[in-house]
Amino acid sequence: MTLWWIGDVLLIVVVLPVVVYLLKGVLDAARSIVPSVDRIAAAAQAGSRDLDAVPLLLTTQAQVKQTVEVVAGYGGSLDVIVDDAEEE
Amino acid sequence: MPAAGVVLIIAVLLIVLALVYYLVSTIFALRQITSGLDEAITGVGGIIEKSAPVADVVKDINANLDAGVDLLEGLLVKKAGLVDSVGRVEGLYPGAAAEGLRNFPDSKTVKPPRISEVYTKGTLTLARLGREAPIAVASPAGPVLRNVEGGSLDARSLYPEARQTRPEKLARSPIIGTGAPVQYPPSEQRGGTTPDEAEIREKGEWAETAAEGIVPAELGGSDAPPDMLADDPQLGSSALGETTGSDEPATESGIDPSGGDEADATSDGGPESPEEGVEPDLKDAGSPPRQVDTDDRS
């Protein structure tokens, strides 16, 4: 009978707190991940929205090409009408 | 059942209840994590998909910009010379000359000349083009230098603000007249009368200048001491005349100011009128009589 009581005491005083402590640690860790994941998801969605303007790069690409062509034409005209620098 | 058995059963139940509570809570937390990760993966997938063509487009843009930079650098060095080009870059972007021009490694060793915001050589070149370039004449918007005055003001604004803002204490032009700080006696006066205060009031401030005379004697005027004059002055008093010192008319009849009021250009001047009944020719209108005709008539 004494062994029964010793087992009961060990179960209640040692095993139960250890089990509770470990399970609570797992639960706290899992719960701490949730807000982090939510922030990651929000950041990813915001980044995706920011990249909605990427197709405008195609317009920029075309305009840069046109601008450089105009500059080239203007430079060619200047090359003709402005004298070269004198060689020193 | 012994009391120890009851206590054992209660302890086991407590352990099971704790396991259930914490494990179920953990399951809910893990499900939330899974849901959040799904959203994150969706967002990241969108990022990857949308940014896929960026690299190629940016490379193409950079290639075009590189070509433009090469073109402009080459043109600048060709037209202004390497030294002036480096000076121009340094003038516009202080410190940039240290990096040199990309396609001209020698530019890093060039000591940049001090060229301010205004590149005189370039300004002169543009001004010359504005006047001489054929495109300036053919432009539908008019000459290249459309607004000379405005263009001049714009160019002036590039220089330091010492003059064009005209500060209040800027040195003024020399003062002449009775208010001048240096007064000269009216020792020299040729013709007319010395204007008195009434005449000055009537004619205006310009008459004050006449009151002062033209050339003071101490500065070598014609009435200066003989040793200050040349041996043979070109213009003596006989040639220059002198004032009468009186308001009396110089002639007996004097000057009749009403004569001007009675003058009639149609009778006293103009061409010879055609004969009576002949229509005058328009080509003769306004032409005065010839000098020889006037001399013959007299």
Q: Indicate whether B247 pLDDT > 80.
A: no
Q: Could you tell me which residues come within 8 angstroms of residue B188 by beta carbon, excluding any fewer than 6 positions away? A: B213, B214, B215, B216, B217, B221, B222, B223
Q: What is the pLDDT of residue A81?
A: 80
CA distance A66 to chain B (A): 9
Closest partner residue to A85 among B42, B46, B79, by Cβ? B79
Does residue B12 sit within a domain? yes
| Mean pLDDT value across residues B17-29 | 93
Range of the domain at B132: 120-152
Q: What is the pLDDT of residue B119?
A: 77
Q: Is the dihedral of CA B122, B128, B130, B135 positive or negative?
A: negative
User: How large is the angle between the packed helices B54-80 and B82-92, nearest 10 degrees?
Assistant: 120
A53 touches chain B (CB under 8 A): no
| Mean pLDDT value across residues B253-259 | 66
Q: What is the pTM of this model?
A: 0.45
**How far is CA A51 from each of CA A54, B20, B36, rounded to the nearest angstrom?**
5, 45, 21
Structure ipTM: 0.73
pLDDT tens by residue, B170-218: 555 556 666 666 655 555 445 556 666 777 777 776 666 555 555 666 6
CB-based contact B57:A58 (threshold 8 Å): yes
Does residue B91 sit within a domain? no
Does residue B175 sit within a domain? no
Does residue B291 sit within a domain? no
Query: Residue B159 and residue B164: Cα distance in Å, rounded?
Result: 9
DSSP H stretches of helix in B52-108? 54-80, 82-92
* Number of structural domains chain B divides into: 2
SS3 B134: helix
pLDDT tens by residue, B214-227: 566 666 666 667 67
CA distance B104 to chain A (A): 16
Q: Which of B3, B12, B11, B14 is nearest to A2 (CA)?
A: B3
Q: What is the pLDDT of residue B146?
A: 47
Contact B26 A23 (CB under 8 A): yes
Closest partner residue to A20 among B18, B57, B133, by Cβ? B18
CA distance A46 to chain B (A): 8
Least confident span in A60-64, B16-20, B157-161: B157-161
Least confident span in A78-82, B252-256, B260-264: B260-264
pLDDT tens by residue, B141-172: 555 444 444 444 555 555 555 554 555 555 55
A14 touches chain B (CB under 8 A): no
Higher per-residue confidence, B20 vs B155: B20
Contact B50 A86 (CB under 8 A): no
Nearest CA in chain B to A48: B47
SS3 B101: strand
Q: In B, residues 158-197, which contact A (CB 8 Å cutoff)?
A: none
From chain A, the residues in CB contact with B36 under 8 A are 34, 37-38, 40-41
A41 touches chain B (CB under 8 A): yes
Quote the mean pLDDT of chain B.
72
CB-based contact B185:B216 (threshold 8 Å): yes
From chain B, the residues in CB contact with A68 under 8 A are 64-65, 67-68, 71
Residue B93 per-residue DSSP state: S
Query: Residue B71 and residue B125: Cα distance in Å, rounded?
Result: 20
Higher per-residue confidence, B238 vs B6: B6
Bridge partners (DSSP) of residue B104 are B101
Query: Residue B98 and residue B89: Cα distance in Å, rounded?
Result: 10
